[in-house]
Amino acid sequence: MKKIRFSILIILMFSYFISYSQQNFSLATKSFVNDLNGITDISGNFRLSPSFIDKYALWYDNDVYYVSGLAKINQEGVIKLLEEKGILINSKLNDIISIRVPLEKIQELPQIEGLLYVELGRKVSPLLKDAVKDTRADSVHQGILLPQAYTGKNVIIGFTDWGFDYTHPNFYDTTLTNLRIVSAWDQYKTSGPTPTNYPYGTEFSTEQDLLAAGSDTFNIYGYHTHGTHVAGIAAGSGAGTPYRGFAFDAELVFVSIKVDEASVFDAFNYIYEYAEAAAKPLVINMSWGLYYIGTLDGHSLLSQALDYLSSQGVLLVSSAGNNGDENFHLRKDFSPGDSLQSFVDFQPYSSIPTMWGQSVSMWGSPGYNFKYTAEIYSNTYVKVAELPLFNTIDNIILDTILVLSDDTIFFKIETASSNPFNQRPGVRLRVRNLETANYKIAVKVLSDSGSVHLWNLIEMTNDVGNWGTAFSNPITGTLPGDNNYAIGEPACTESVIAVASYRSQIVLPNGNPAYGNISSFSSRGPLINENVKPDIAGPGQNVGSSMSSFYTTPFTSIATVSFNNKNYKFGRLSGTSMSSPAVAGICALIREANPSLSPQSIKDLLKQTARQDNYTGLIPMTGDLLWGWGKVNAYHACRIATGMAGETDYFYSINSGNIYPNPSSGLVNFNNYESIEKLSVFNLEGKLIFKTEEISETMDFGFLEEGIYFFSLYSTQEVIWDKIVILR
């Protein structure tokens, strides 16, 4: 029998460990500084390998390497202090700034007064895995029982993405005459000119420049097609094919984002400033996400920035995530003496060349610390080694290796005792185990109280993985994972419309309907603070849209258009990356129909008018963790937004408590009935069923069939909407 030699080596952060254990630096920052210290030689010089440069949000300019990120400040004067130290400020939203820090200045950040919180080095990832008719948007395009047809005209849709083909006919108008891309910023391209106020990338502001460029540049995803497909869903003209998008007359702003959080922040600002200058309503689509390290409850710096943009009138739409079919989450509610133990499953290293290992993120309850460790088992599940037991009360940054016989298992650990925005302790435990056939990794958590959530995600060498991998229970006493609490950032932001995915329903040649089901990959909620997400569901499975003509990966074409002596193709992709632009396009229709509606009003309106059917089941007024408030209904939303269903610009919550009981068998009571001057009842399709000006405290609606209805209650000052269920 082979003898096992066991040893453990702990490498601490030395000079950076003390200063970066403070609470005002995120786990992402600590992770970056930890790795940076590991490549610093005895003279303090940085030995930056290609893998390190690829992994983090690094910039190289004038012989200086910078790391980018976000920071929260409490006074304007701190910007001057940062600039005096050579730290670059790219843009600002309220009290949050995007920064680029020279690597040699990293150690000076903790001493800067007024710098409340810093997140450095994080990257973002795309969320990939017969839509117009299914959402009733075709009726909006035709203007049926509406003041006019709505197609997104004079509305701007901004896209933060990768893989844009500026020449694709899908981005021209329906006559294939005028290009509707009004501006583009390629954050990778270095030839310039740079946008005003943004000292990097290249801006294309004319049709001539866009067509000359052809596409955004080769980047971390190569010549991709993600952005071309996403933008085509939201706003493609179809170019003579059936694959026309939702807001096909909208104006488009493309930003090819460097895959880091600060560049995304700058992209938001850039799009917002363009729309403000044009004085046009704006929708921004985000078909990408983060799971690592972010608070996942709407309190991160990015979420705070998005909430501010929403307060300024920007409508934000995001994919909810593609981990609905992966049991990558665990939750344990602890009592004295309790523990949690589960095995961390790995993806095969051979299947993903850029895979480093697995990343286990943990968040505890506000104010409650917990202990954790990792255990190593043989392939027959005999425990052979374990790490020390760590406590989140300690701010830990370390690298650890376990040497077992001739094999080495690598661990990277960062702990924060309390996040300043939600007071939760947080941990990121990363594991590299190349000998997955020989050794199994288990994670163990102990606490006497509170709850702890864990997520198991692939850790890539370039830090852009977002795929969940299961927790498993191969031996007695261990727990399996589940697919709950799977909403990432930015979808977890309160002001953002988080979009789930379902497969559009079609009618088969025999006349029978098919599909309409939720997509298996669609992430389910809630958030860790138990807020309900997603908000709405859109079609995101097998969606046909434009594919970049510069894309080099083979795919199955479903249509080809010859334009300007070049063939352009359409193809199908699936994911909440596809359902998000469907809803973004519908939001553009609503913004055209009623530009005065606030983002919150439109979000409420989508929830109020969401469609329910046999697949969604009866969704409670508090929403559903898989469907949100149901399938998006463009027609009903536009009917109400234009006042055609009797609504004004004022929207109340769905459950305002004015009618009861709910559900009802027919008899309905009204609070404050004396103030109600008239009442209208609409079905889920927005059709007026009943109206009256004779209001009493109790009314009999027994003539209504079983189903869901909207009651519109009119007074001299306002209109209140309530959704009611009739059951017998």
The fraction of the chain above a pLDDT of 90, given in percent, is 58
When pLDDT is averaged across residues 269-289 and rounded to a whole number, the result is 96
Q: Which residues contact 620 (CB under 8 A, 6 or more apart)?
A: none
User: Is residue 65 pLDDT above 70, yes or no?
Assistant: yes
Token digits of residue 25: 């630096």
Among 140-144, 268-272, 388-392, name the one with the lowest average pLDDT.
Answer: 140-144
When pLDDT is averaged across residues 157-186 and rounded to a whole number, the result is 97
Strands lying side by side in the sheet with 557-563: 543-546, 566-573, 557-563
Interatomic CA distance for residues 495 and 588, integer angstroms:
17
Residue 671 per-residue DSSP state? T
* Residue tagged 């059951």 (tokens): 727
When pLDDT is averaged across residues 629-642 and rounded to a whole number, the result is 93
Residues 311-324 pLDDT 10s: 999 999 999 999 99
Residue from 264, 276, 258 nearest 305 by CA: 264
User: Is residue 4 pLDDT above 50, yes or no?
Assistant: no
Task: Collapse the DSSP code of 276 into the 3-class scheme (helix H, G, I; strand E, B; otherwise coil) and give the result.
Answer: helix
pLDDT value of position 128: 42
Top pLDDT among 106 and 228 is at 228
What is the set of domains in the chain, with CATH numbers? 14-123 (3.30.70), 126-322+491-636 (3.40.50.200), 330-472 (2.60.120), 652-726 (2.60.40.3080)
Top pLDDT among 687 and 202 is at 202
What type of residue is 241?
Answer: T
pLDDT value of position 433: 95
User: Is residue 650 pLDDT above 80, yes or no?
Assistant: no
pLDDT value of position 189: 93
Q: What is the pTM of this model?
A: 0.82
Top pLDDT among 132 and 586 is at 586
pLDDT value of position 508: 66
Interatomic CA distance for residues 602 and 640, integer angstroms:
10
Q: Helix axis angle, 576-593 relative to 634-641, nearest 10°? A: 20
Q: Which residues contact 80 (CB under 8 A, 6 or more apart)?
A: none
Q: Which residues contact 414 (CB under 8 A, 6 or more apart)?
A: 27, 30, 31, 34, 396, 397, 427, 428
Top pLDDT among 108 and 219 is at 108
Among 59-68, 408-417, 645-654, 687-696, name the one with the lowest average pLDDT.
Answer: 645-654
Residue 108 per-residue DSSP state? G
User: Is residue 550 pLDDT above 50, yes or no?
Assistant: yes
* Residue 88, CA distances (Å) to 61, 70, 178, 230, 434 in order: 11, 11, 38, 32, 39
Among 92-106, 205-219, 675-689, name the one with the lowest average pLDDT.
Answer: 675-689
Among 99-113, 461-475, 527-541, name the one with the lowest average pLDDT.
Answer: 461-475
